A and B are shown apart, each in its own frame.
Chain A
Amino acid sequence: MLNTLDIARPVAARPSAQAPLLSVENLRVEFDTSRGRVRAVDGVSWNVYPGETMAIVGESGCGKSVSALAVMGLLAKPAGRVAGGRIMFGDRDLTKLSTSQLRELRGRDIAMVFQEPMTSLNPVLSIGMQLAEPLRIHLGMNAQEARERSIELLGLVGIADAARRLDQYPHQFSGGMRQRVMIAIALTCNPKLIIADEPTTALDVTIQAQVLELMKELSQKLGIALVIITHNLGIVARYADRLTVMYAGRVVEEGTAEQLFARPRHPYTLGLLRSVPRLDRPRAGLLDTIDGLPPNLLAPPTGCRFAERCFLRAAACEADPPLFDLAEGQRSACHRHAKLEQALAARPAAPPLPEAAPSDGEAPLLSVRALRKDFHVPVGQGRHGLVRAVDDVSFDVPRGTTLGVVGESGCGKTTVGRMILRLTPQTSGEVLFEGTDIASASAEAMRKLRLRMQVVFQDPFSSLNPRMSIGDTLNEPQLVYRKARNRREADERSAELLRRVGLVPEMASRYPHQLSGGQRQRVGIARALAMQPSFIVCDEPVSALDVSVQAQIMNLLTDLQNSLGMTFLFIAHDLAVVRHISQRIVVMYLGRVVEAADCDDLYREPLHPYTQALLDAAPVPDPTIERQRAARVLKGEPPSPLNPPSGCTYHTRCPRATAECAGIVPPLREVRPGHFAACIKL
């Protein structure tokens, strides 16, 4: 009961002397599932002060969204309910309000922006109708007043031609635009507080920057307090004043952004910060990881919930830690918070990243030449449009190295990977694997080639066959390709493969649904290794994973490359991740390569304006750096691939574009030795 006592104690120093706007006190939320009762939020407290931006940070399943939904009274019924604690908004306890009192408050005093802009707007109602609804319900406006205010609001969130767009429907808006509409809806009644639940997770990095800048600017201008729920530490560093870190249904640390990023006082916060690859630091060694997995909330451990994964674990950790008050409002739920820095200094530094050097003069393992892919997509009423998903893409992957392919969604990077594996036939161009053209390979030759090139997919939940045990999944390629003579030999090799990817051999008897995301991704890698390939296409292999697990998988890939001399094509949208793992990088935009360079050259001196914009838009997890950086937000949205701009496809968004750019398709040329860019302004 230490926890409760601690919360009841008045808190001395606060960044703000005001009373909190919203104060969540010792909140408990339970869900009834078919497997038992889950206490998703277990004694959590956090405050929001007027006008500030507070971030709740944590990995999936830590209870960060659930606590926000509890504030709004939007927990999924009847499974979820508030089981204890208070939610004070002013002097009212939201958990005690009647349904209709809570409804009056929602949208008027507290508004919410959700993660999925594509599904959060009603597809059969016009945007105008959806915007006007809260105005008419809460403010009693008539149709004309509501419409005028709606036009004003759309202008405020940066949607041009507002009067006309009010009569349109959600499917006529892009994802970024829909999120702007959601923000406009949240702003309708001038709420005191907006809760944004992963507002940009579904968006590309350039659009993410636009949306977040907009939210920050508007909340400051209108004096609205903002709660941002996110797993992205970069966003937190740039936009949050204060943050609350959650782990397994509890708050583990809170404080200002500066405090937590400079001097985290909980091992979990520290681990989170150290396990993400950083754009602002030189590439160094393997990533720090947090070992193991978060506890199962059906049967949470007693004592400190992080103890099992903690390098500072001691006997004291068997008791439930209270939130210890540290200097200036920073609080940490770690018994050993005072020892943290000392212990960290004593830890050995991460081993340096061995640099895989391409051996000069040797022919590349894989060459892609003028690859192109056209898709015919239906555009309604039986008509079809042509989308050139990949256009004139060429690159080499030297043996034993990693080539990173980076770009936003729809840039064609995944299609390139699929054409290399002949999962999607190309429209034209060549894919040469050790000099053999894959497109023209016979079925027999292809079977031989498949042994040498394998794939690891993004989504660990669907990349394993749910009806096959892990052992069967790993045995299958060995038996089909006679890598093992019999079942027993295959079992033995599978056990060896599981050990190789950091799992225990006993896992073979399990089924995918019994594994965590990171474990499944390890099995996916083991399945690729079972063929003993020399080349693996990794298609967004870590983007669906939590940061601590992401680091584990990236370290595994690095290790495999070093010990087995493997060659990788690494496709990803996260610039820091690609940088960490690749030797050479290709940047794609709307189906074309805009820049290709060695990793360090590219990040040190990006040449193409699009690469520069991408790097500017990606926030780094350091508030000091972030606050010094001017906001340089890339304007506009990626054009429709059905109707791409003429000339350089980037000229519609490029700050350097002139009339000339619309006329010429810029060729990829060598601007510096080994550094190619497709821009005529260089």
Chain B
Amino acid sequence: MLRYIVKRLALMIPMLFTVALLTFFLLRVIPGDIVEVKLRADGGNVSQEVIERERVRLGLDKPLVVQFGDWMKGIVTFDYGTSMWTGQPISREIGIRLGLSMQVAVMAAIVAVLIAVPLGTVSALFRDSWIDYLVRIVTIAGLAVPSFWLGMLIILGLLSLFNWSPPVTYTSFFTDPIANLSQLIWPALAVGYRYAAVVARMLRSSVLEALQEDYIRTARAKGVFERLVIVRHTLPNALLPAITVIGLELAFLMGGLVVTEQVFNLNGIGRLFVEAVTRNDFTLIQTLVMMIAVMFAVVNLIVDLLYGVLDPRVTNQ
């Protein structure tokens, strides 16, 4: 098992290197110099000399290959360099925001799975009944409603009902858990709706598929109680593929956060990413991209390991 994990981690390296290579060079293919954007942002007339000096300070005068080498060297030593815009170390920029985004993601995941599993199962079991149609409409709507608009609706509702608006400052869970949870539950719901919808839809179709398998007929031919046919024979088979979706969507929650953090005034990773793109902050973008790739690969590995534990076909090979 340990050998397998080590092997998988080793296989991640070429993948991550390719990501690094592509992002780094593609970001710099199209002209669009951060220094000019930054210094001439307000239409100010800055001399070429000042611009050149700034370029040297940021190391942009060196050949691209050297810059890439520096970056790679930094990554291995956990030194990601400094933001081209704020001048702060990137590890610090990310560090202060990561906890918040992770917390929202985990809360969203918990809410989503708790809602999705019963919903998807019931929908499949009562296929083509009114309850199935209702669940299908609610879940398709979950894919349709943009999370930022849902967030705005939530704020609108809270404002008109409780006159509550999202606080400007973030309270950590450890200083005041209640304030923290009451602040973060709303963005978690806004991004979790879509998550729940994806998982519920997936589960519905995998339950339907499992119900058509020959072994379900065998179970019925044995005289197994219908309840057990569902709980013991159908659900374990249907939940296995759902694990993949639950994992991947967790890794993809970042996508929802990118817009939702904006709505709720949360200073998280998503917002940082949007700001980096708006400001052409290449060093920050490339590091964030790497971070997302690593997160995805790790979640993938965890999902595969879970399969190893839960699926006897993988365990007893």
Q: Which residues of A contact B (CB under 8 A)?
A: 72, 74, 99, 103-108, 111-112, 114, 116, 119-126, 133-134, 137-138, 168-169, 171-172, 182, 185, 188, 379-382
Contacts and interface: CB of A to CB of B under 8 A. Distances in A.
29 contacts: A72-B220, A74-B220, A103-B220, A103-B223, A105-B223, A106-B221, A106-B222, A106-B223, A111-B221, A111-B222, A114-B214, A114-B218, A119-B214, A120-B214, A120-B215, A121-B215, A122-B215, A124-B237, A124-B312, A125-B232, A125-B233, A134-B223, A137-B225, A138-B223, A169-B316, A171-B313, A185-B222, A380-B314, A382-B7
B177 interface: no
B316 A168 contact: yes
Question: A-B pairs with the 7 shortest C-beta distances?
Answer: A107-B223, A380-B317, A107-B222, A106-B223, A119-B214, A169-B312, A122-B215
Interface of B: 4, 7, 213-215, 217-226, 228, 232-233, 236-237, 240, 311-314, 316-317
B214 A116 contact: yes
Nearest to B219: A122
A152 B7 CA distance: 43
Contacts of B311: 124
A104 B225 CA distance: 9
Contacts of B219: 122, 133
Contacts, number: 88
B218 A120 contact: yes
Contacts of A133: 219, 222, 224, 228
B240 A124 contact: yes
B220 A123 contact: no
Contacts of B223: 103-108, 134, 137-138
A169 B313 contact: yes
Of B4, B219, B317, most buried by chain A (CB within 10 Å of CB) is B219
B124 to A, nearest CB: 14
Contacts of A124: 236-237, 240, 311-313
B313 A122 contact: no
Nearest to B8: A382
Contacts of A116: 214
A120 B216 CA distance: 8
B304 to A, nearest CB: 10
Contacts of A379: 317
A348 B215 CA distance: 50
A108 B223 CA distance: 7
B244 to A, nearest CB: 15
> Which of B223, B224, B311, B312 has the most C-beta atoms of chain A within 10 angstroms of its own C-beta?
B223
B237 A122 contact: yes
B10 to A, nearest CB: 11
A574 B249 CA distance: 51
Contacts of A114: 214, 217-218, 221
A520 to B, nearest CB: 26
A112 B221 contact: yes
Contacts of B222: 106-107, 111, 133-134, 137, 185, 188
B11 to A, nearest CB: 9
Chief secondary structure at chain A's binding surface: loop
B221, B228, B240, B316, most chain A CB atoms within 10 A: B221
A123 B312 contact: yes
Nearest to B217: A74
A137 B4 contact: no
B221 to A, nearest CB: 4
Given A124-B237, A169-B312, A103 B214 contact: no
A501 to B, nearest CB: 36
Contacts of B236: 124-125
A379 B240 CA distance: 21
B237 A123 contact: yes
A122 B314 contact: no
B214 to A, nearest CB: 4
Nearest to B210: A122
A394 B314 CA distance: 39
A103 to B, nearest CB: 5
A23 B127 CA distance: 34
Nearest to A73: B220
Contacts of B214: 114, 116, 119-120
B224 to A, nearest CB: 6
B240 to A, nearest CB: 7
A345 to B, nearest CB: 47
A123 B313 contact: yes
A111 B221 CA distance: 7
Nearest to B311: A124
A93 B232 CA distance: 30
Contacts of B4: 381
Contacts of A121: 215, 218
A558 B214 CA distance: 39
Given A122-B218, A133-B224, 8 more contacts: A99-B226, A103-B224, A114-B218, A121-B215, A137-B222, A138-B223, A168-B316, A188-B222
Contacts of A107: 221-224
A334 B193 CA distance: 66
A382 B304 CA distance: 13
Nearest to A111: B221
Contacts of B316: 168-169, 171-172
A185 B314 contact: no
A368 to B, nearest CB: 36
A381 B307 CA distance: 12
A107 B226 CA distance: 14
Contacts of A103: 220, 223-226
A126 B312 contact: yes
B69 to A, nearest CB: 31
Contacts of A120: 214-215, 217-218
A140 B10 CA distance: 52
A380 B312 CA distance: 13
A124 B4 CA distance: 22
Contacts of B232: 125
Nearest to A105: B223
A124 B309 CA distance: 11
Which of B218, B224, B236, B311 has most chain A Cβ within 10 Å? B218
Contacts of B225: 103, 137
Which residue among B217, B222, B237 has the maximum number of chain A CB atoms within 10 Å of its CB? B222
Contact of B317 (A74, A123, A381): A381
B313 A106 contact: no
Nearest to A109: B223
Given A106-B223, A133-B222, A137-B225, A123 B314 contact: no
